[in-house]
Amino acid sequence: MTDELAVMGIECFGHHGVFDFERREGQIFVIDLVLGLDTTPAASTDDLRETVHYGILVDSVKAAVETDPVDLIETLAQRIANVCLLDDRVEWARVTVHKPDAPIDATFSDVALTITRKRTLQP
């Protein structure tokens, strides 16, 4: 059984996109995270060291979004998932990258990509 820790609506400013103006001007990206982990150790000890420190995680995710521009939100989502999986307690990470100001010539409310990545077993 896995518990789920969610941090939703993390606003970041990044310079990602395939168009020059996206790279130059930047835009808001909104990140949602859901992490699968066992929270039993933290619950039984009431010790922050026994779980994911979501304040530190958010800082790391913001840094991942706000540096090193890429073309695709697919690449950005994978980068964020990798950050989440750095903590050995995280069994899987579901990452949604929202790009509400995507350059689309139509009325729309959001563009979002959700990926789920699992920890790979090391031989």
Residues with a catalytic annotation lie at: 99
Phi, psi values for residue 73, rounded to 5°: -70, -20
Judging by DSSP bridges, how do beta strands 3-14 and 92-98 pair with one another?
A: unpaired
Burial of 69 (0-12, 13-18, 19+ CB in 10 A): middle
**CB-CB neighbours of 46 under 10 Å:** 7
- Dist. CA 119–CA 93, nearest whole Å: 8
- Dist. CA 28–CA 98, nearest whole Å: 9
